[in-house]
Structure 1
Amino acid sequence: MWVSQRSGLFSGVAALACATVLLEITLTRIFAALFGGPYAFLALALAPFGAGVGGVLLHLAPSIARPPSLFARMAALSSFASGATLAAVILLAQRGAAAGPAPRSLLWLALLYAASAVPFALAGLAVAAAIRHAAAEMPRLHLLSLVGGALGGLAAAAALRAGAPRAALAAAIFFAVAGVFFYLASRVREDEPRASGGLVATFVLGSAVLLAGDVGAPWLRLTGLRGAAPELESWSDQALITVERARAGTAWMRRDGAGASAILAAKTRPPPQPEDMAYALHRDRGPVLVVGAGGGRDLRAALKAGQKEVYAVEESRDVVEAMRGRYAEFSGHLFDRPEVRVAVTDGRSFIRRTPLRFRHIVIASTDAPAGSTAGALALSESRLHTLEGLSDFLARLSPEGTLVVTRADGDFDRLLSLAAAALRRAGAGAPGDHLFGCGAAKQTALLVKRAPLARAEIDALRRHCRRHKFSEAFAPDRPRTPARGRLVATADARAAAPDARVDLTPPTDDRPFFSYSVPARRLPAVLGDLEALRAEHAGLSALLALLAGGSGLLALGVLLPLLAGRAGRRLGPRAAAPAPRARALLFFAAIGAGFALVGLALVRHALVLLDLPAHELPAVLVVLLVSVGGGGLRTARVAPPAAAGAAATLAALLVAAAALAAVGLVPLTQWSLGLAPFLRAALAVVLLAPVGLLAGSLAPLGVKLVASRSPALLPWCFGLSALAGAVAMALGALCAMNLGYSALLLCAGLAYLLAAAAVPPAAAAGEVAQDDEAGAQDGAGAAMSEAPPAARAAAARSGAPGA
């Protein structure tokens, strides 16, 4: 069976995009499970890094993939990407088997990261070659590649249920299938070198056999997971849920190994914890809401206190399925007891939609104390621990109701400042009179009462803490430290503790990073102390490593082609002026950075809007990628002379859209939390689709403009766009953590403003595109048109273009 070269090109690129997105999502889960949440963000940058390296490499060495060996080389690159995927996932799965401390060393982590980037670099080479030699087909190629990426997102939602290592094996199969399409297309022309059928078949059959073997007799499992060896592993696109074997009536449930939630045996009484102190005031009066049900320890504590109406919110469907399935009998069917009502959603959405008022609300922490204090969670958002979040929960309390929030000891002052600000926002004149805190085992619970605490209530709380040997951290009459007294007495946290080593300003929905606590004034000093940075701020350290590596690659991507002198030799005498070349490169770098920045902000807010537990990310990716592809398709009929004006106009519209989103996106998201799930999903589409349509038009228009003057620049432009996007991801995360998502959107607007100013000029009338690649063909259709008569006849029978 043979296919036309156009069909083979489109199908192969779509399969490459599908494999790339599937592998990228899969690696975020593997990196998070092995190394922690911050490294999942690093894995997100693998695809743009790989694509950027591939594009620049093809520009430096165009002979890697160009006619007449274009399809044969693309088939080989896709096959090697399949093999590199297999090698990377096996290496990651066995990382715990390495001797000594090597797995924890930066050198070992860099090796794993580099190995994981190889498949993306090979795929990037193939895609850059497709863009270079099929520039005239860019709108359709752009659409099909993004549709393929959307299918990869959907495939990830299904494949991850079987485990991330198996999902990576499925990605290897998709890479190999791309090689099959390119191989079939290479057979159309009789005078074109044929791809190696044996090579393609080896990786197709090899990856399929490895996946089938793992399904029949599992052999590919992650080793070296944090915590004890689990008896249960449940994968999703959100997290790896593990449960350790029960000991002394308790089994520990973890998410990506970073937190711990106790599953108590049916006959095991829940041990006293600081977050139970509110029951010393309420006893059996309810109802009670537990946010983050986890293994059910807080539900058991509420039932032990005599509560008859307990509502539980858990955002992970896997956790609920485990508690109602494998651990139902062990826990005494806790989640199915008549007093307990479980909702699978996020806490903010539930509290906004419910008409109930609660006597008591518990927001327990499952963060490992060491992780929180070491800054490992710095990149993690927490929309529960924001000024708006606590205000939402306080608004749903009955007049005498209480809210208890638990965090690690090192976070208590920050939590105290946040609670005082929320009370002040609710109208409390003296927030300190509403607060009481006590702690144990490196965790401190803060009780927030809607009404001021009476003397008898303070005494009851104090007796409760002393009886259970909890350490008192704050009371209205005993703030414990002068700084804590000032924190609750003044609205300006900076003035209350000007010399604090942590940022005490309350997190907001615009900057929902409770665990990132580095004050702006201390950021230069923290960055300058590399040893302390690695030990105390693991999340920030990982982000800076990403930024440093990305910046280095971007610099090399600019300098190496310039030093090699290739660009100047290809442009020819009439196109050798550096200004058009610089504008083309700057334009593509700006749209790459702009899309990464605006995408980072919009995807985060769209994830909040969607109420599809375990499926938010694939759904958001599908909407965004399809809309971006649709925007590219709209440019198919735009002639090159009109492309410059269209690109400038669209970039200007994106500047306006980013500015509008910076002002209104956070309030809109907050308002929407009380809407029905269908309406929120529709709103997410309304937010993503227009921006996707606008942003998706810029790359195809830029390809038209560059191809009209110097097609040889296209791989370089493609590479710089991807590398700039990867660097922008790191800068954007740093910006959001310190300044908020509104500032991030303004930065995206600046990037698109730069793109509007740097739109490359179209070729003048009668100007011929310059290219020094002798005999190169600019497109699959052109290559077919020059085939011998016999080959053209065969191509006509197969439906090939140009026949």
Structure 2
Amino acid sequence: MVDKDLRAGKNVYAGLFLISLATLTYEILLTRIFSVTMWYHFAFLSISIVMFGMTIGAILVYLMPGYFSQDKTEFHLGLSAFLCSITTVLSFLLYLLIPFVNSISVLAFVVLAFTYVLISIPFIFSGICVCLALTRFPAQVSKLYAIDLLGAGIGCMLLVYLLKLTDGPTAVIIVAFLTGLASILFLHREKAPGLFNSAIILVLILGIFSAGNSYLAGQQKPILRLIWVKGGITGLGLKRPIYEKWSSFSYISIRERQSLKPFGWGISEKYDKNEKVRQLILTIDGSASTPITNFDGDFSKLQYLKYDLTNLVYYLRPDASVLVLGAGGGRDVLSALSFGAKSVRAVEMNADIIKALNQRFGDFSGHLDRIPGVRFVNAEGRSYVASSKENFDIIQVSLIDTWAATAAGAFILSEHSLYTVEAWKDFLSHLSKQGILSFSYWYTPEKFPAVIYRMVSLANTSFQEMGVKNPREHIIIVRHIYKLHLSTFPEGVATILISRDPFSSQDIAKIKTLCEEMNFEMVLGPDFSLNPVFEAVASGKTLEQFPEFSLLNIKPTRDDSPFFFYALKFQNAFKPGIWKAIEKTSGVGPPLTIFILGALLIITLGLTFLFILVPLALTADKSSLRGSLWFFVFFIAIGFGFMLIEISQMQRLIIFLGHPTYGLSVVLFTILISSGIGSFLTGKLKDQMLKKYGVILLIILLILLIIFGFISPYLVRAFRSSETMLRIFIAGAMLFPVGIFMGMPFPLGIRIASQKSPSLTPWLWGINGAISVCASVIAVVIALNFSLSITFWIGFCFYSLCLLAFASAKQKPA
């Protein structure tokens, strides 16, 4: 039995705050670590792992009522926090030793499942802490739930500042340090002297190590560092990085390049000069590489840039004002300058890259930021263009998605703000009258070039919506095919040129001449098409006559469905032969990525069934479950509704705010803080008034969700060009009122259920957690195959079901 009069002391509030803060900090930190060690599309996996681990913790509390007796609650809170601290360190150290298997195989599935379980272990103990705090002090559940959400909300923002001070691996140790502090707060020395003293020793060790490794990381000599990155050992076959820097949205490393041969993916074979160029390779998140070129002011040493297909646009518009999106290591800036550009605006979202290029390695790179006419801007590319009052002769976006990431399908599950109709309309409207937008991407000749087709589709639709009658007159595609010894490298690059005005006959003649001189090949022009598919796509014709498009979708992506690199039609996902068809496709929908998504869905469903639903079913108290159907419907609906709305808005705001970390942090912070306020407010309701006011509050929530669903797309469009801080404020302001009312159903349901049967609450907690685990993956599947809006409105339907269940559930008289 639970003593309803047991009161939580200030130490419980403080400890719960720290546990929740550390849990959410680690959750977001894992998105960064997974992006580096595996791929970006594993970022959403951290949400599922956290929910799974914490739900297991709640189930253990339910299954072991004798062990987790109420009179020992504070001891078990302290012990769980202590074990959370230790397992955070141990599980992370073991994870560092596990290579990511980048293939479609049983081994890959096993490694993924093992990683899922391993990383979830500390969250099991975190879940025990939170469950004990929220179920052992029923009279204070609203306040405790508010503290839980407050800590979690602050944890969302803590990582942003934490990674300005230290590196990723050290941040994990700091998380363990915080949970160790929580253990000390929960415990009383006189009641558990051994555990209390052990916690103090643990905290001291973790604190000293964190400070030491953080200092060494600043000196580029950390003791604890990543070992396996993208399935390979860091430093194997390469020199160790000479510089590393973590931030809340990237990890960059810089190595010396061994070869003195100029680096470039589209350099013509006609380039026969024996130039030696010293270059450093800057790598982002372990895959995206960009060269930093040694430059002493002499452009005659950079002749290779004039033979690179990605720079074709400069032959058409010399003496241009240039906007480079994704400046990286400065290669495109040097390209523009070598062709005599009168001004270069280099936009780079990652401030650490700009600092590395122009400050730490400024003497090596030639301090590009000091060259007259060159200005670097720290901003997200699309947002900068939308807010700019200038027009440019050239906007260049060259291979910002690297071959390594493309080969693994790393961006298929990612939102991409640069590849939507809305984005391209922004780009085209910021070109001068004869300005040209230049995009470069991989083009493997033996494969179906779905990415290039989709780019053409984007251009065609964008022009049509801007009132252009014949978009094909504005599009030219040129490719360069070459052979490399390593089969894993792409064997072709294409550049798509999109002109605001129709290309002139002189432009077309110039391109044809350059193709002959440099052994490039024109794929599409106003008067030429390599194949009828390009002609049909560029002209906006139907594609039904082409069998390749029966399985794949190359319709232009929009902000509401921004998954540019995912082109599998949902109805074809399980058709025979689909995998063979996908294998023949370049860039869109590699089987590996679809395998990973399917594997994650199977793993989450399987583990949830095995470790959550089965134990609950086998140990259920039949008497407490009798007459509880509507309670189960209620908590199932909350689990689906909350996750579908949270993840859909997270993905929408990634586009709006310009980066995954911003979307994740702002959405989680706002929803958690506002939900905490909502939970706190429900504590003001008297028990006998819960049912009446609960129904009213849920109706208000549904009304707010309807308003939010209709006005949020409008507000996103209206403020897309605003400064980052204003966009963050708008995002928070949209979510905050909804979040307040989204935080109310759970504590209301727990209070009413505890009146019926106190032993029922962990059961309901477990069901809610199980659904949340599965919903975190299901939400991504829905968004990929349909849209963010549909994902949101399905979440709304679940909250409508929540209202029905709440109104139908019977409240025991107080």
TM-score, normalising length: structure 2? 0.86
The one-letter amino acid paired with 2:500 is R
- Rounded to whole Å, the distance in 2 between the matches of 1:473 and 1:615 is 38
- Which secondary structure does the structure 1 equivalent of 2:414 belong to? coil
Alignment of 1:100-499 (within 5 A): 105-161=108-164, 162-184=166-188, 196-215=195-214, 218-226=222-230, 228=238, 229-247=240-258, 248=260, 249-267=278-296, 269=302, 271=305, 272-284=307-319, 286-372=320-406, 374-409=408-443, 410=449, 411-440=451-480, 441-490=491-540, 492=542, 499=549
Kindly report which structure 2 residues correspond to 1:5-16, keeping only aligned pairs within 5 A, or say none. Answer: 5-16=8-19
Which amino acid in the other structure matches residue 10 of structure 1?
Y
User: For structure 2, which runs of at least 5 residues remain unmatched after alignment?
Assistant: 1-6, 217-221, 261-277, 444-448, 481-490
The C-alpha deviation readout for 1:630-662, integer Å capped at 9, x for no partner, is 111111111233223333333333334444444
1:129–1:715 Cα contact (<8 Å) kept:
no
Aligned to 1:636: 683
Q: Which amino acid in structure 2 is aligned with residue 115 of structure 1?
A: L
Aligned equivalent of 2:557: 507
Distance 1:388 1:727 in 2: 32
Shift of 1:524: 2.0
When structure 1 is superposed on structure 2, of 603-612 and 714-723 the one drifting more is 603-612
How far the C-alpha of 1:142 sits from its partner, in A, is 1.2
Contact map agreement 2:566 2:784 (CA 8 A) in 1: yes
> What SS does the corresponding residue of 1:69 show, helix, strand or coil?
helix
Look up the equivalent residue of 1:553 and give its one-letter code: L
* SS of residue in 1 equivalent to 2:699: helix
Greater mean alpha carbon deviation, residues 588-597 or residues 150-159? 150-159
- Unpaired runs of at least 5, structure 1: 767-803
Q: Kindly provide the amino acid, as one letter, of the partner of residue 447 in structure 1.
A: L
Write the distance in 1 (CA, Å) between the matches of 2:161 and 2:106.
30
Distance 1:539 1:377 in 2: 9
324-333 or 298-307, which deviates more: 324-333
How far apart are 1:498 and its partner, in Å? Answer: 6.5
CA distance in 2, matches of 1:528, 1:404: 32
Tell me how far apart the structure 2 counterparts of residues 688 and 526 of structure 1 sit (CA, whole Å). Answer: 43
Q: Which moved more, 1:304-313 or 1:203-212?
A: 203-212
**Contact 1:493-1:505 within 8 A present in 2 as well:** no
Aligned partner of 1:537 in structure 2 is 591
CA distance in 2, matches of 1:551, 1:562: 15
- Using the TM superposition, give the Cα deviation of residue 299 of structure 1 relative to its aligned residue in structure 2, in angstroms: 0.9
Distance between the aligned counterparts of 2:104 and 2:416, measured in 1?
A: 32
Match of 2:446 in 1: none
Map 1:569-608 → 2, pairs under 5 A: 571=624, 577=626, 579=627, 581-608=628-655
Asked if the contact 2:652/2:788 (under 8 Å) is kept, the reply is: no
Which whole-Å CA distance do the structure 1 matches of 2:791 and 2:365 have between them?
Answer: 45
2:143–2:683 CA contact under 8 A, matched in 1: yes
Mean Cα displacement is larger for which, 555-564 or 592-601? 555-564
Provide the alpha-carbon RMSD of the alignment: 2.8
Q: CA deviation at 1:684?
A: 1.6
Taking the TM superposition and a 5 Å limit, the aligned residue runs for 1:617-628 are 617-628=664-675
Superposition deviation, residue 216 in structure 1? 5.3
Cα offset, 1:304, TM superposition: 0.8
Distance 1:41 1:420, change over 3 A: same
Alignment correspondent of 1:747:
794
Amino acid in structure 2 at the alignment position of 1:637: K
Aligned AA for 1:334? Answer: L
1:377 aligns to what SS in structure 2? coil
Alignment match, 2:45? 42
Number of residue pairs matched? 749
Matching of residues 695-714 of structure 1 within 5 Å: 695-714=742-761
AA of the residue aligned to 2:425: S
Task: Measure the CA separation in 2 of the matches of 1:25 and 1:646.
Answer: 35
Q: Is the 8 A contact 1:159 1:166 kept in 2?
A: no
Distance 1:650 1:556 in 2: 35
Contact preservation (8 Å) 2:109, 2:599: no
- Alpha-carbon distance, 1:529 to partner: 5.3
**AA aligned opposite 2:753:** V
Seen in structure 2, the aligned counterparts of structure 1 residues 726 and 544 have a Cα distance that, compared at 3 Å, is same
Task: Output the amino acid matched with 2:206.
Answer: S
CA distance in 2, matches of 1:312, 1:364: 12
Q: Which residue of 2 aligns with 1:776?
A: none
The 8 Å contact of residues 412 and 589 in structure 2, kept in 1 or not, is answered as: no
- Separation of aligned partners in 1, 2:49 and 2:660: 25
Q: Is the 8 A contact 2:783 2:790 kept in 1?
A: yes
Could you say if the C-alpha distance between residues 612 and 32 of structure 1 is closer, same or farther in structure 2, counting changes exceeding 3 Å? closer
1:57 to 44, 56, 60: 60
Shift of residue 557, structure 1, vs aligned partner: 6.0
- Inter-partner Cα distance in structure 2 for 1:755 and 1:655: 10
3-state DSSP of counterpart to 1:634: helix
Q: Is the 8 A contact 2:81 2:182 kept in 1?
A: yes
Q: Considering Cα pairs closer than 8 Å and 6+ residues apart, tell me whether 1 or 2 has the greater RCO.
A: 1
Shift of 1:399: 1.4
Alignment-derived partner of residue 268 in structure 2? none
Paired amino acid for 1:644 = K
For residues 208 and 315 of structure 1, the distance between their equivalents in structure 2, rounded to whole angstroms, comes to 32
What does the per-residue CA deviation read over 1:239-292, in whole Å, with 9 as the maximum and x for residues that have no partner?
2112221342222222212322222110551533323111111111x2111111
**How far apart are the structure 2 equivalents of 1:474 and 1:709?**
71
Aligned to 1:548: 602
Query: 1:393 aligns to what SS in structure 2?
Result: helix
Decide whether aligned partners of structure 1 residues 219 and 531 sit closer, same or farther in structure 2, where only a CA change above 3 A counts. Answer: farther
Q: Secondary structure in 2 aligned to 1:260?
A: strand
Q: Distance in 1 between matches of 2:366 and 2:778?
A: 48
Question: Amino acid of the residue matched to residue 198 of structure 2?
Answer: L
Distance 1:105 1:230, change over 3 A: farther
Preserved CA contact (<8 Å) 1:96 1:103: no
Deviation at 1:169, TM superposition (A): 0.2
Q: For the structure 1 residues 29 and 676, does the alpha-carbon distance in structure 2 shift closer, same or farther, using more than 3 Å as the test?
A: closer
Distance in 2 separating the partners of 1:504 and 1:429: 21
Q: Which amino acid aligns with 2:292?
A: I
**Which amino acid is the alignment partner of residue 254 of structure 1?**
T
Mark the CA change 1:556 to 1:585 in structure 2 (over 3 Å): closer, same or farther.
farther
> SS at 2:522's partner residue?
strand
CA distance in 1, matches of 2:661, 2:641: 28
Q: Mapping of 1:697-776 within 5 angstroms?
A: 697-759=744-806, 761=809, 763-765=811-813
Q: CA separation in 2, counterparts of 1:689 and 1:527?
A: 47
Cα drift, residue 675 of structure 1: 3.0
Shift of 1:666: 2.5
The superposition leaves residues 586-617 of structure 1 with CA deviations (integer Å, 9 ceiling, x where unpaired) of 21221122111111122334444458997665
Letter matched to residue 607 of structure 2: L
Name the SS for the 2:457 alignment partner.
Answer: helix
